[in-house]
Amino acid sequence: MDKEERKTINQGQEDEMEIYGYNLCRWKLAIVSLGVVCTGGFLLLLLYWMPEWRVKATCIRAAIKDCEVVLLRTTDEFRMWFCAKIRLLSLKTHPFSSPKSMANKVSNGHAVLTENLAEENRHEISKYSQTQSEQIRYFTHHSVKYFWNDTLHNFDFLKGLDEGVSCTSIYEKHSAGLTKGMHAYRKLLYGINEISVKVPSVFKLLIKEVLNPFYIFQLFSVILWCTDEYYYYALAIVIMSVVSILSSLYSIKKQYIMLHDMVAAHSTVRVSVCRVNEEREEIFSTDLVPGDVMVIPLNGTIMPCDAVLINGTCIVNESMLTGESVPVTKTNLPNPSVDVKGMGDELYSPEIHKRHTLFCGTTVIQTRFYTGELVKAIVVRTGFSTSKGQLVRSILYPKPTDFKLYRDAYLFLLCLVAVAAIGFIYTIINSILNEVEIGVIIIESLDIITITVPPALPAAMTAGIVYAQRRLKKIGIFCISPQRINICGQLNLVCFDKTGTLTEDGLDLWGIQRVENTRFLLPEENVCNEMLVKSQFVACMATCHSLTKIEGVLSGDPLDLKMFEAIGWILEEATEEETALHNRIMPTVVRPPKQLLPESTPAGDQEMELFELPAIYEIGIVRQFPFSSALQRMSVVARVLGDKKMDAYMKGAPEVIASLCKPETIPVDFENVLEDYTKQGFRVIALAHRKLESKLTWHKVQNISRDAIENNMDFMGLIIMQNKLKRETPAVLEDLHKANIRTVMVTGDNMLTAVSVARDCGMILPQDKVIIAEALPPKDGKVAKINWHYADTLTQCSNSSAIDSEAIPIKSVHDSLEDLQVSRYHFAMNGKSFSVILEHFQDLVPKLMLHGTVFARMAPDQKTQLVEALQNVDYFVGMCGDGANDCGALKRAHGGISLSELEASVASPFTSKTPSISCVPNLIREGRAALMTSFCVFKFMALYSIIQYFSVTLLYSVLSNLGDFQFLFIDLAIILVVVFTMSLNPAWKELVAQRPPSGLISGALLFSVLSQIIISIGFQSLGFFWVKQQPWYEIWHPHSDACNTTGSLYGNFSHLYNETEDDPHNIQNYENTTVFFISSFQYLIVAIAFSKGKPFRQPCYKNYLFVLSVIILYVFILFIMLHPVAPIDQALQIVCVPYQWRITMLIIVLVNALVSIMVEESVDYWGKCCLSCALDCRKKIPKAKYMYLAQELLVDPEWPPKPQTTTEAKALVKENGSCQIITIT
């Protein structure tokens, strides 16, 4: 095969796919068309369900470069197939169609499929189009266009300015805007800028729903029953299917409308763009393309695309994307060419530079500009490529839920199909031997298939999930992905965000600890006093924040708000008119309240002068460098009114701030004091300051890089914030631990604070050891390494001589391992270490996942990687976060619960109305109950199929069958009532340590089903063959009267039958009546046997509807069996049998019930015993990787790593990430 025939697109990404080229083949098409006609359209349906077969049956392989159709296959575990048609984009229709002018147009800006810079893109057209035809070949898959790229010899999706463009080129090449010609050309390629969620018409949805294999099977069943004159049952199934289809259509349509409304808000707005010759043009947002320079209006807007800010400042509400309702300040992208200290040619990335990027769908509340300049942003991504577009795509095209239950359900159905095939063959042979007509043989043999694979199965399976969803709604948990409820029953590890999830959302200011003459002063509680009002410390607290006034109300980061409220200052912002009028207006001014200024000072000339000055004591914020989670700090440039020099203030993570300060200004006991606070669970923020040179003018400050400001600072001290645990946190975590569910903390906070909170809430027990893994990336030719420190477990070391972080373990290496064998240990690491370990120590990742409990300073994408790493060792992972930066992890986890009701919860399968983690055990309990209900229903439906299948097979042997109304009574009155009521058992009150099985194919479950099948078949056969041995038995005919003991009632009844015409289907006979009564009771017996309660569901006697239904059915069947009622018997086509045989049937049924329930009860006990014996005999390797690993690590002398040791990555062996442990003495 030609190598060109198979390639990979989106390599290394989540949606990586293999791509194969095909061309349409006319003779194959003709054969398929003939096949469609011969099979009555069934082949067409089969090809509709299987895109791979469709393409292979009608096309021949071709080189991807020249193909007409592409076949795509995902490279993940699902290996799903898709096909797409190649389309041609003609450039002839375009006014700029000559290749030369085209190349010039393209080289003007970021080119067609740019992964290179503009100057390297001189030959764009020859790269993307066949020159002779000037056509570009492309296909669309999941709303993304893939264009043929001659350089790559492969298809590639159209990238915007978000990849491969440096910050320098954004200013130098793109800030002028596009010419109209370039804009028109790009629009041709990029298409309309919209996230279009088309709401399909009801007809389209109906066709798609009806063509589901299950409904096709139902249609086949209904046609078959109609030909066999089973009209009532066929009608009942049709009504059920119609109700099912309509409810499904309603929910799908509702979801589409919700999604459409969510994206429609910004779909079309008028925007102003700047063109090359500095003219402004009003266009619709749908016409925007990457490279356009968009003017952000003063009164704000909803962003119609992703754009990077190059001029001015914006205050943005990003709750749509992040779930954080706090407004965020966005500043212009630093321009490396004018920075005092250049950043080098850094590549622009929306993720890295998110503080300078305005994302699609977010709301710009206010804009700030200086000296009459416009607030401008360059469009970097449009349509489905934007961050919101990607979110919408993930909802429109979700990954299939891979869950063992569903895989096993299909296997089980295949087994039933195999059983049906045996019955099919048996029926044909039996009928031929009995010389039955061909028409009857076909109908009866096909009928056995419809009996074995029950058409009501999907409705029965979803009932339990629907009820669970309703119960969850009652306790304030909303679900957008009901199939995930079952998966939540399997969760055995839950990751928790810290702030706002385990702890209270807001922080309280506990106090401050200032530094004077490089020594810490005593902690102070009250910051709002006259002594400190003009100190640099308070000035830093007053200016170093991103607060803003929105409609007169101060809003911003909760931490900044608390800090600003603590000093009691006033913030005033310049109005738009003032900003436009004055050249050097300070955009934001802060000043203390008058009562704090020392008015009542003793008189005296000197004092009076001092008094005059504070009356107008104000500080203006000149430039703001917003908080960056990557840098873990923020800074501002401010000026006190009347001062010549400006001040730089900085606040952030203490370790980071200290590294940017002059060493001589940092107290010697800094690390000890910091460790003291963090161990007590306080959130610590450090402040720093320096006076700037007088040569730094206002204009220079606007263009200076933050690196030039954030260095050589004077350390000023610490702010200590208290983050209290939520009241319910310890109790919930204790419940989870009792249920053997592991808990993990994933936070953006400081490591020691996180470890302290983990201890306080019971995630890490007092006697447990904490091993901190500090991983360092390769540097100066040295390989990557991990230093292992043992955190101090005894919190009573609050004296000033706290232990140095390098010498934390207070025990010898010799006895540490023995201690650890007895006590549990936990790993803690920060985001940087986690990234290094993922890259350089892949073989250590599974081991660390097994005991990793605290992950601090984690970025949003690292949280997602952590969830994936845990899933890779076979954990069922739950994630609980407040939605602020957990979107990716919430979506990736098996069960993601968002505690935020904002739009970010679109990414999360579950959203809790109450912002507390008590929803986690509730969800797991309901998940377990729903999972057990699914098992019960599946087992019951399997038994129902087999019981009915065997009844019919037995009756076929005497050329009989069940009657239409008998089928109707069994399927509607018994099965549907039982199925829909047996699913109503609520969840058990508490979580238990035992977990439900994850699949149907488990020893105990199979034994349970098989034993019940054998019992049912045995008792049915007993009744069927025993009735033939009765002295009164004869082959039934209309004049038979076996029950002459019952008097006139049956005399009349027999006479009634004499007048009716002969029974063509031979339904009325003694075998039929016996089998009908025994099987009717059997359905109810297995329903009771399978309705398990504890430990996952409430006992079945508390399910009042189920109990009532079963009692009514038992009484009714018992009544018509022991006391015949002529009209009922006539409708059900039951014949008269002696009273003595009725009592015999009752005894058979009672013994059957006793045996079934005893066997089912003993399955649990004996199943466990047999399983443990089998495990002892075979020394079976556990299926889950984490259990296998745990067994291995028990006997590993090198694990856990000893204190003060270092693990190094082996130098040249990068691909498998091997490592060696070196003990440092």
* Average of per-residue pLDDT across 60-64: 89
Look at residue 404 and tell me whether its pLDDT is greater than 70.
Answer: no
Name the pLDDT band for 30 (thresholds 50, 70, 90).
very high
Work out whether strand 825-830 and strand 376-381 pair parallel, antiparallel, or are unpaired: unpaired
Q: Which two tokens stand for residue 884?
A: 């602020």
Look at residue 604 and tell me whether its pLDDT is greater than 70.
Answer: no
Q: Which two tokens stand for residue 20?
A: 């194969």
Which region among 72-86, 480-494, 577-591 has the lowest average model confidence (pLDDT)? 577-591
Residues 649, 652, 657, 658: what is their CA dihedral angle, to the nearest 10 degrees? 120
DSSP three-state, residue 514: strand
Q: Which two tokens stand for residue 1073?
A: 């009546």
Position 752 scores a pLDDT of 73
Q: What amino acid positions are annotated as catalytic residues? A: 497
Closest CA to 748 of 628, 901, 911: 628
Q: Which two tokens stand for residue 254?
A: 């509702």
Q: What are phi and psi of 421, to 5 degrees?
A: -60, -40
Look at residue 742 and tell me whether its pLDDT is greater than 60.
Answer: yes
Name the pLDDT band for 1018 (thresholds 50, 70, 90).
very high
- 700-721 pLDDT, tens per residue? 887 788 888 888 899 999 998 8
Name the pLDDT band for 597 (thresholds 50, 70, 90).
low
Work out whether strand 508-516 and strand 714-722 pair parallel, antiparallel, or are unpaired: antiparallel
Position 1123 scores a pLDDT of 86
Position 1117 scores a pLDDT of 92
Work out whether strand 742-746 and strand 852-856 pair parallel, antiparallel, or are unpaired: parallel
- 1068-1120 pLDDT, tens per residue? 888 889 999 999 999 999 999 888 777 888 888 888 899 999 999 999 999 98
Q: What is the mean pLDDT of the chain?
A: 78
Contact between 742 and 815 (Cβ < 8 Å) = no
Look at residue 794 and tell me whether its pLDDT is greater than 80.
Answer: no
What CA–CA distance (Å, rounded) separates 1150 from 1118? 12
Share of the chain above pLDDT 70, in %: 81
* Average of per-residue pLDDT across 77-93: 82
**Beta carbons within 8 Å of 351's beta carbon, 6+ residues apart:** 861
> DSSP letters of 1029-1061?
TSTT-----TT--S-GGGTHHHHHHHHHHHHSP
Look at residue 601 and tell me whether its pLDDT is greater than 60.
Answer: no
CB atoms within 10 A of CB 1037: 11
Q: Which two tokens stand for residue 107?
A: 């080289």
Residues 433, 438, 442, 448: what is their CA dihedral angle, to the nearest 10 degrees? -30
Contact between 448 and 424 (Cβ < 8 Å) = yes
What CA–CA distance (Å, rounded) separates 1139 from 1136? 9
* Average of per-residue pLDDT across 591-608: 56
Which region among 45-59, 489-503, 798-812, 1134-1148 has the lowest average model confidence (pLDDT)? 798-812
What CA–CA distance (Å, rounded) separates 1040 from 1044? 10
DSSP three-state, residue 901: coil
Look at residue 188 and tell me whether its pLDDT is greater than 60.
Answer: yes
Closest CA to 986 of 1034, 1040, 928: 928
Name the pLDDT band for 608 (thresholds 50, 70, 90).
very low
Closest CA to 177 of 227, 109, 88: 109
Name the pLDDT band for 208 (thresholds 50, 70, 90).
confident
Work out whether strand 493-497 and strand 877-881 pair parallel, antiparallel, or are unpaired: parallel
- 879-910 pLDDT, tens per residue? 888 764 666 778 788 888 888 665 444 567 78
- 934-966 pLDDT, tens per residue? 888 888 888 888 899 889 888 888 888 888 788
- 432-488 pLDDT, tens per residue? 887 778 887 888 788 788 787 776 777 777 777 888 888 888 888 888 777 788 888
What CA–CA distance (Å, rounded) separates 443 from 451? 12
Position 1170 scores a pLDDT of 63
Share of the chain above pLDDT 90, in %: 11
Look at residue 552 and tell me whether its pLDDT is greater than 80.
Answer: no
What is the reported pTM?
0.72
Position 902 scores a pLDDT of 55
What CA–CA distance (Å, rounded) separates 392 from 61? 34
